[in-house]
Amino acid sequence: MVRQWPDCLGKSLAVLEIDLIFNAVADAMPGLRLTDPPRRLRSAWINGVKELRVRAD
């Protein structure tokens, strides 16, 4: 049987914080629209967005 280790304890908090931030920005600026797909950060250590281009209507 292979034992799987849980994700880093801080990961859940970081995901929650990012979700709250993006939702707060979306609520404050409802006219924001994506202009391009997000560019991902290519890293063995960090899984994230490097660039997220938007426009305001």
Does this model's pTM top 0.75? My answer is no
Report, in this order, helix, strand and coil percent for the chain, each rounded to 5.
Answer: 35, 25, 40
Give the per-residue pLDDT at 5.
Answer: 65
- pLDDT tens for each residue of 34-43: 999 999 998 8
Burial of 57 per CB tally in 10 Å (0-12, 13-18, 19+): exposed
Helix H or strand E encompassing 23? helix 9-28
User: Binning pLDDT at 50, 70 and 90, where does residue 6 land?
Assistant: low
Q: Are 13 and 24 in contact (CB under 8 A)?
A: no
